[in-house]
Amino acid sequence: MAQDVIDLSLYRADFPMLTQKPHGKPLVYLDSGATAQKPQVVIDAITDFYSSHYGTVNRAVYSLATHSTEAYSQSREKARGFLNASKVEEIIFTRGTTESINLVAYSFGKAFVKPGDEILITEMEHHSNIVPWQILCEDRQAILKVVPVLDNGELDFEAYKRLLSDKTKLVACMHVSNVLGTTNPIREMVQLAHSAGAKFLVDGAQAAPHMSVDVQDLNCDFYVFSGHKAYGPTGIGVLYGREELLDAMPPYQGGGDMIETVTFEKTTYNHLPLKFEAGTPMIAEVIGLGAAIDYLTDIGLGSIHDWELSLLHRATQQLQEIEGLRIVGTSSTKGAIISFVVDGAHPLDMGTLLDLKGICLRTGHHCAQPLLARFGFTSTSRATFGLYNNSEDVDIFVTALKETLTQLR
């Protein structure tokens, strides 16, 4: 391990799930890319809210409601700081990355996209960053264009520049690929998009929990991520959007809290961010997300990033020694994600046998069927690392994989 990498093994004790022993084996959890385990502080924050402080937000003056509203507002400020947004009004709470993207596709599309306009995405996108744009294009008679991926898993940057035009209304791209691990050059991509007159949305689901994100430095127009991948609860996500764009976009849903006045003749809408948050919000989930952000910030996103990359390098070196194993995605700029295939062994079979050894590994198409098809696969195995993983996890995993392959080949 490099001297400047801080060993985060100590934090493993903060995660009660990691004491479980599936099939009588120590748990080796290598699926943080799908969802992360929760530290005790997040569990405690949610439990404390429900047991001692539960009340609605924004709608009452009694003390419980006031306390809930303050805690809820504090979490929004924490999310603002987490992404370094310039204003708290630019932080919209959603149910997750998927809803955030759908919100932008619907509202931005309704406000700005006309027949013949173009939406540009990439070949590596998650289904959640493909299907909403397909729906938008069908609805608005717009055209969807796709940036291809090179053999090493990086975007074809020259093709990206060629595909941008004065017809491009918006570019949507993941910050880090959930399959390949590729970290995309978002800042440069945003600059080119803006030069063409287009707006830019970043899917940060695989980036925000693992690296420092500064939306002002990236200069993107929208940035989205999910709480459950960032060691927080399920059912909560964040959409950052530029204030002027959010102001110009129509509401995504109608109901309580998103209104200013309602009559049968006309309704006027609330100010940001409430305009996009109809109904009783996910109060406990928002408070849990705030606790998760505090937890990550206290450790330091830079330390988390370096630690996870050290595990990635250790695993990559060991996996490359296995005969017939091919790593899919070999960019020099990767997050802590390894997808691989092995000659003569189906990913589902490998995943099933590894589970019996206590190892949680993702198998399948990873909600990225077009990307897998580009590489000639319908399924891969995927290991993704979190801050609680350690070198022992890597060694146990690789040893177990070798034993499993002797059964399958």
**Residue at which a domain ends, from 298, 318, 346:** 298
Same domain, yes or no, for 394 and 289?
no
Taking the mean position of all CA atoms in its chain, how far away is CA 399? 30
The domain of 332 spans: 9-30+300-408
What is the CATH classification number for the domain harbouring 220? 3.40.640.10
At what angle are helices 40-48 and 283-299 packed, to 10 degrees? 150
- Give the pLDDT of residue 4: 79
Q: Are residues 174 and 311 located together in one domain of the fold? A: no
Helices 283-299 + 301-319 axis angle, to 10? 80
pLDDT at 125: 98
Does residue 36 belong to any structural domain of this protein? no
> Is 62 a domain residue?
yes
C-alpha 37/C-alpha 234 separation (Å) is 11
Q: Indicate whether 35 belongs to any domain.
A: no
The pTM of this model reads 0.97
Residues annotated as catalytic are 367
| pLDDT of 273 above 90 | yes
1 belongs to a structural domain: no
Distance CA 325, CA 133 (A): 35
Q: Are residues 139 and 80 in the same domain?
A: yes
Same domain, 23 and 99: no
Q: Which residue has the tokens 């198409």?
A: 365
Q: What is the DSSP letter of 135?
A: H
Q: For the domain that residue 16 is a member of, what is the CATH number? A: 3.90.1150.10
User: What is residue 389's DSSP assignment?
Assistant: -
Beta bridge partners of 31: 384
Q: Are 14 and 58 in a shared domain?
A: no
What is each CA distance from 238 to 19, 77, 192, 277, 298, in whole angstroms? 30, 12, 25, 11, 20
Half-sphere exposure of 133 (CA within 13 A, CB side): 24
What residues pair up with 237 in beta bridges, in sequence order? 94, 226
What type of residue sits at position 152?
A: N
Q: Is 13 helix (H, G, I), strand (E, B) or coil?
A: helix
pLDDT of residue 302: 97
Are 233 and 43 in contact, with CB atoms under 8 Å apart? no
Domain assignment present for 4: no
**Token duo for residue 11:** 């934090």
The answer to whether 310 and 7 are in contact (CB under 8 A) is no
Average pLDDT over residues 202-231: 98
The reply to whether 25 falls in a domain is: yes
Count of the separate structural domains present in the chain: 2
Q: Peptide bond preceding 273: is omega within 30 degrees of 0, i.e. cis? A: yes
- If you average pLDDT over every residue of the chain, what do you get? 96
Q: pLDDT tens across 124-134, in order?
A: 999 999 999 99
My answer on whether 224 and 276 are in the same domain is: yes
Q: What are phi and psi of 281, to 5 degrees?
A: -75, 180
* Assigned token pair, 64: 């419980």
Q: Do both 244 and 333 map to the same domain?
A: no
> How confident is the model at residue 68, as a pLDDT?
86
CA end-to-end span of the chain, whole Å? 33
Task: Kindly report, residue by residue over 384-406, the tens digit of the pLDDT.
Answer: 999 999 999 999 999 999 999 99
d(CA 104, CA 227): 18
Evaluate if residue 2 carries a pLDDT over 60.
no
| Domain edge (last residue) among 257, 279, 298 | 298
Q: Say if residue 268 is in the same domain as residue 334.
A: no
Give residue 108's region: left, alpha or beta (phi > 0; psi -120 to 50).
alpha
Q: Is 216 exposed, middle or buried (0-12, 13-18, 19+ CB in 10 A)?
A: exposed
Among 273, 298, 323, the domain boundary falls at 298
Q: In 3D, which of 82, 176, 121, 154 has the Cα closest to residue 332?
A: 154
Residue 357 lies in a domain: yes
70 shares a domain with 25 = no
Do 352 and 241 belong together in one domain?
Answer: no
Predicted confidence (pLDDT) at residue 289 exceeds the cutoff of 50: yes
My answer on whether 99 and 178 are in the same domain is yes
Q: Which helix (H) or strand (E) holds 11?
A: none
C-alpha 308/C-alpha 329 separation (Å) is 17
Given a cut of 60, whether residue 3 has pLDDT beyond it is no
Tell me: do 157 and 248 sit in the same domain: yes
